[in-house]
């Protein structure tokens, strides 16, 4: 579904260049859930933006659904690290934005509206449909943004730390929902997180990036059966083991790569 070959990204700044990514070769199969971990500033968000077609790579090639990426695609949804809500739109109409924009909707508008209400209820925002973003807490804004990225049942979902501002319970609930969606609709998901546990519980594969410049340190396959839960479950020990390994991988490079 997603294929990156020798992708690199260099930013030109006033104060010199920053190499954000280097030699990224990644192949995500259709319906696969890949989580991306790496230290802050290693290039995770940049990688997602490359896949989304928001940024042309400095080198290498990016393909989605066998086609080279030249710009954003209809079937890819992107949930940004920051909520990015339109300040003049109510919660509901922020969630409905993607539907409004894509005229060739397969379902009727009313159906989408129902879906929006359903999603808002799911994330615990019932009763806030008509509020404006500035009246919401940080976590509530993030949940609105999550609903927005889910409304169109996209083929590919790129999610940049979607749960970072959420409490443990909401996180658990929503990660279960996300797995359900993935399984039901065979959605391909690339998911950035700083929670190693979250990365393990959600992923089919975990990709570990090295610190700046971001290279691929390792790809770890997770074979625990689904559905899995962030809360206590039967595979605690396995999760703990893999988590420890990932933790080690993240730290290791730290000493190795900081020249």
Partner 1 sequence: MTKRSWLTGSPAAAVILPIIGLAAAIALWWLATVVFSIQPYLLPTPWDVVVKFFDQPGALLSETGTSLLETIEGFLLAIVIGVPIALLIVRSVVLERLVYPLLLMVNSIPKVAIAPLLVVWMGFGQWPKIVMVLLMCFFPIVISTAQGMKSTPTELVELMRSLNATRAQEFFKLRLRYAMPQIFTGFKVAISLAVIGAVIGEFVGATKGLGYVIQQSGASADTTLAFAAIMLLSVMSIVLFYGLVLLEHLLLPWAQEKR
Q: How many residues bind Mg ion (CB under 5 A)?
A: 4
CB burial readout 170-186, b (16+ within 10 A) else e:
bbbbbbbebbebbeeee
Binding stretches for partner 1 (CB under 8 A): 14, 49, 52-56, 70-74, 76-78, 80, 82, 84, 86-88, 97-98, 100-102, 132, 134
Give the whole-angstrom CA distance, residue 128 versus residue 84: 17
Nearer to ligand ATP, 108 or 138 (CB): 138
State which of residues 58, 59, 63, 81 lies at the interface with ligand ATP (CB under 6 A): 81
**What φ, ψ does residue 13 adopt, rounded to 5°?**
-115, 170
55 binds, among partner 1, Mg ion, a copy of itself, none (CB under 5 to 8 A by kind): partner 1
Residue 30 binds to ligand ATP (criterion: CB under 6 A): no
Tokens read off for 227: 């559905």
Site residues (CB under 6 A) for ligand ATP, limited to 5-24 = 11, 13, 18, 20
Q: How many residues bind ligand ATP (CB under 6 A)?
A: 21
State which of residues 6, 30, 41, 72 lies at the interface with a copy of itself (CB under 8 A): 41
15 binds, among partner 1, Mg ion, a copy of itself, none (CB under 5 to 8 A by kind): a copy of itself
**Nearest of 240, 50, 254, 238 to residue 160 by alpha carbon:** 50
The dihedral sign for the CA sequence 179, 181, 182, 183: positive
Give the whole-angstrom CA distance, residue 140 versus residue 102: 25
Q: CA angle 203-204-206, nearest 5°?
A: 60
We find the least distance from the C-beta atom of residue 128 to a copy of itself, in angstroms, to be 8
């Amino acid at each position: 579904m997603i294929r990156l070959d020798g992708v690199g990204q260099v930013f030109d700044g006033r104060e010199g260049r920053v190499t954000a990514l280097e030699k990224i070769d990644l192949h995500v199969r259709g319906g696969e859930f890949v989580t991306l971990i790496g230290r802050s500033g290693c290039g995770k968000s940049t990688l997602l933006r490359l896949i989304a077609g928001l940024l042309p790579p400095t080198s290498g090639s990016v393909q989605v659904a066998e086609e080279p990426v030249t710009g954003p695609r209809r079937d890819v949804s992107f949930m940004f690290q920051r909520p990015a809500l339109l300040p003049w739109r109510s919660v509901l109409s922020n969630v409905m934005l993607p539907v409004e924009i894509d005229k060739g909707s397969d379902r009727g508008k009313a159906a989408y509206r129902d879906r929006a209400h359903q999603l808002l209820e799911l994330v615990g925002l019932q009763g806030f449909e008509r509020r404006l973003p500035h009246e919401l807490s940080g976590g509530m804004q993030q949940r609105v943004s999550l609903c927005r990225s889910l409304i169109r049942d996209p083929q590919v979902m790129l999610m940049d730390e979607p749960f970072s501002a959420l409490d443990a319970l909401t996180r658990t609930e929503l990660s279960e929902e996300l797995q359900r969606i993935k399984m039901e609709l065979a959605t391909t998901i690339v998911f950035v997180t700083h929670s190693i546990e979250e990365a393990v519980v959600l992923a089919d594969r975990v990709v570990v990036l090295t610190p700046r410049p971001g290279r691929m340190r390792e790809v770890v396959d997770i074979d625990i059966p689904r559905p899995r839960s962030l809360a206590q479950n039967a595979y605690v020990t396995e999760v703990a083991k893999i988590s420890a390994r990932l933790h080690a991988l993240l730290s290791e490079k730290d000493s190795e790569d900081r020249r």
